[in-house]
Structure 1
Amino acid sequence: MLESFKIADLGCSSGPNTLLFVSEIIDTINKLSKQNSNKTQEISVILNDLTKNDFNNIFSALPSFYELLKKNHGYEFSRKCFISGVAASFYERLVPCKSLHFVHSSYCLHWLSQVPENLENKEHIYMSKTRDPNVFNAYKNQFYKDFSSFLTHRSHEILPTGRMVLTLVGRESPDPSEDDGCHVIELLAQSLLDVVSQGLIKQEDIDSFNLPVYHPCKDEVKEIIHNENSFDLEKLEVFECDWNPHDNDYGDGDYNYKFDKKQRGEIVANSVRSIIEPTLVPHFGELVLDNVFKSYEERAIDHFETGKAKYINLIICLKKK
């Protein structure tokens, strides 16, 4: 029986779901300890995100989190849980060698460390079906570099036979030019062009902007894991989700009775805005974004009529060799 179990949540953010993963892990460890009649382990949790993340908000929530632990699992158990933060990019080393048993990351690894260099991608902000193959290759090469670096750094930090569970947005087709997964971002590019026509931003502002994101297919992920060779791939699952998260709650077609087209467009526009707005503001400014996402809402409504309104998730389970 281990005396201490050490885990890390990479890309933890600072919203209401930040401590959800931590809570689930702690509950599971406590349950297993009781089932096996073992002494309760100490649990060390490292929360990681970039330096601009609001760690003060996380730490302010910890007293009430510990109170909940005490209520659910008792005072003794709550005193054996230790939570700390590390502000740095997970494409770099974060903790000492062989110090982690388990690593988790959710909806982060499709974000690149940087926009690919020397990218010629006018009137677009990401990959598009109409773009030159060089754009696809530039994004693919940057993802290969970043994901390989991520695996190598974690291989130093995770104990032998330790695990990682990673969730990221991917795509279904091996050929990015045949896939609709990038269309949610292409609608944003079109919405930005709408605001250009309104005279609120300049064309060159769009031509000089690209999102640092890449949605890999499962074969690309498998290839990188194999070539980097620090982890065994135990499982890789692919599943679809609706752009509108509420659509998943009502089965095939039933959501039409719950949300009309305008509501669905508004939900999707707000969801995309919540994710991408921090990246847009430094380049375009905050004042124009209401116009941008009003246009996005209208374009999303049109897309529901003719296009695929799904995105792909990849869930990856890895074991350290």
Structure 2
Amino acid sequence: MDVEEVFHMTGGVGKTSYAQNSSLQKKASDMVKHITMETIQELYYEVTPKSLGIADLGCSSGPNSLSLIKDIVEAVEGTSHKIFHPLPEFRVYLNDLPTNDFNSVFKCLPDFYRDLKKDRNEGSPAIFIAGYPGSFYGRLFPNNCLHFIYSSYSLHWLSKVPPALYDEHGRSINKGNVYISESSPPSVSQAYWNQFQEDFSLFLKSRSEELVTGGRMVLILLGRIGQDHVDRGNSFFWEILSRSLAISVSQGQIEQEKLDCYDVHFYAPSTNEIEDEVRREESFELDRIEMFEIEKEVKAGESCGTAVAMTVRAIQESMLCNHFGDGIDLDSLFDNYGKMVGEEIAKEAIKPITFIVVLKKL
């Protein structure tokens, strides 16, 4: 399966779309918004460019990306007024894989520009926004054209499912599991770790060539607390998906063989693993790394289990449909998923961990 050709958040604005089911991601970015704004303000104060290059890597298709750009523009405006410096023009590059629903983002642009003009007597700032399809595991932009890079809830997605999960006949060594679990052989966690090292190192190297010296990156990604890959956090949500898919097998909706060779291209790194890769790659100084937890917001009349299920569905739907085909009943699958999440939360809290990482180009 070619991840770059298949993977995308569910587009549009319907009930199961990412746009309608990304409140958790928005809450995470809001919780650490002060860090993001401090970082862009420090950068602007140091560099004061006439043209400020900004990239959002993994922008997806909901409203979160343009909301961030508005916050950045306002933060830079405040700093420019304080230091009596003319406001720069903003070059904004929205990046995601080619299958992303960029159209839904572009349709929001008229409202975005209209909102910026409100309450501004001196006219709105010059902002040039473009879509940049492609994988961020490799070069995307010309040398030294960016000042600030932001990526939220994207870097835990690997460039591909680790090839080492499959034997010479294409059979998975992680049968019945979609991610690292207690029943997985030790070689499974090693395969995922090796793929993360390769991908994250390439990501850092690519961005170091595109950022100016002193440029900043703010990265928000899922992770884990300790060395154990199996915990009651992010890995546990994948365990529940494995169980839900097993029910679909028992109901004859999908074949066991199909489940046995379905693995997700996901990895939740630890703090040490992130720090080690940054040091090893040598292009960036680690300014800051912090860990935090988020509680899922629940809509009126909706259970917590259903809210989590809808979020996971918006993220995984493209991959599940591609692998299992039309035979899979996603409504039934995620109904079971939501019930299991609710049952598990009633027993003991599930605490997914998120990191914010701030890097400075050396």
TM-score where L is the length of structure 1: 0.91
Stretch deviating more after TM superposition (174-183 or 229-238)? 174-183
Please state how far the C-alpha of 1:305 moved relative to its aligned partner: 2.6
Which residue is 2:148 aligned to?
102
Report % sequence identity. Answer: 41
Deviation at 1:130, TM superposition (A): 1.9
Paired residue for 1:227? Answer: 280
Q: Which residue of 1 aligns with 2:71?
A: 24
Q: 1:131 aligns with which of 158, 168, 184?
A: 184
1:202 and 1:289 mapped to 2: Cα distance? Answer: 15
1:265 corresponding residue in structure 2: 305
1:230 Cα deviation from its structure 2 partner: 0.3
Partners of 2:50 and 2:231 lie apart in 1 by 51
User: What pairs up with 1:103-252 in 2 under 5 angstroms?
Assistant: 103-119=149-165, 120-177=173-230, 180-242=233-295, 244-246=296-298
Code of the residue aligned with 2:322 in structure 1: it is P
Are 2:131 and 1:85 aligned?
A: yes
How big is each residue's C-alpha offset from its partner over 1:250-278, in whole Å with a ceiling of 9 and x where there is no partner? xxxxxxxx87xx71221121122122222
Partner of 1:250: none
CA distance in 2, matches of 1:75, 1:202: 63
- Which stretch of the first structure deviates more once superposed, 25-34 or 156-165? 25-34
Distance 1:14 1:155 in 2: 26
Q: Relative to structure 2, which stretch is displaced further, 149-158 or 295-304?
A: 295-304
In the TM superposition, residue 60 of structure 1 has moved relative to its aligned partner by 2.1
Query: Which stretch shows the higher mean deviation, 42-51 or 283-292?
Result: 283-292
2:341 pairs with one of 273, 276, 300: 300
Pick which of 299-308 and 94-103 moved more.
Answer: 299-308
Larger mean CA deviation between 188-197 and 15-24 belongs to 15-24
CA distance, structure 1, for counterparts of residue 100 and residue 121 of structure 2: 31
Deviations 1:146-198 (A, max 9, x none): 00000000000000011000000001111214564300111001000001111
CA contact (8 A) 1:129 1:178 kept: no
Distance 1:218 1:7, change over 3 A: same
Picking from 83, 97, 102, the partner of 1:50 is 97
Matched residue type, 2:142: P
- Distance across 2 between alignment mates of 1:180 and 1:3: 44
Task: Determine if the alignment matches structure 1 residue 283 to structure 2 residue 323.
Answer: yes
| 1:318 and 2:359 correspond | yes
In 1, the alpha carbon distance for the partners of 2:189 and 2:310 equals: 28
Structure 1 unaligned segments of length 5 or more: list them: 248-257
Range moving further from structure 2, 42-51 or 60-69: 60-69
1:73 aligns with 2:73: no
Q: 1:207 to 1:76 in 2, by over 3 A?
A: same
Contiguous gaps of at least 5 residues in structure 2 = 1-47, 166-172
State which drifts further: 31-40 or 221-230. 31-40
Amino acid of the structure 1 residue aligned with 2:321: V
Figure out how many residues of one structure are paired with residues of the other and give that number: 307
Q: 1:74 Cα deviation (Å)?
A: 4.8
Question: For residues 66-105 of structure 1, what are the alpha-carbon distances to aligned partners after superposition, in whole Å with 9 as ceiling and x for unaligned?
Answer: 1111124356334x11111111100111111011110000
Match of 1:253 in 2: none
Q: What SS class does the counterpart of residue 137 from structure 2 fall into?
A: coil
Q: Is 1:309 the counterpart of 2:350 in the alignment?
A: yes
Contact 2:233 2:353 in 1 (8 A): no
Residue 20 of structure 1 deviates from its aligned partner by: 1.2
What SS does structure 2 have at the residue aligned with 1:176? coil
Any idea what the Cα deviations from partners look like across 1:119-169, whole Å, max 9, x if unmatched?
111001111122110000000000010000000000000000110000000
TM-score w.r.t. the length of structure 2 is 0.81
SS at match of 1:310: coil
Deviation at 1:279, TM superposition (A): 1.8
Give per-residue Cα distances to partners, 1:178-231, cap 9 Å, x unaligned.
Answer: 564300111001000001111111101111110000000100000000000100
Counterpart position of 1:252: none
Taking structure 1 as reference, are residues 189 and 72 closer, same or farther at Cα in structure 2, changes over 3 Å only? farther
2: CA distance between counterparts of 1:180 and 1:161? 35
- Report the CA distance shift for 1:39/1:290 in structure 2 as closer, same or farther (over 3 A): same
Q: Secondary structure at the match of 1:138?
A: helix
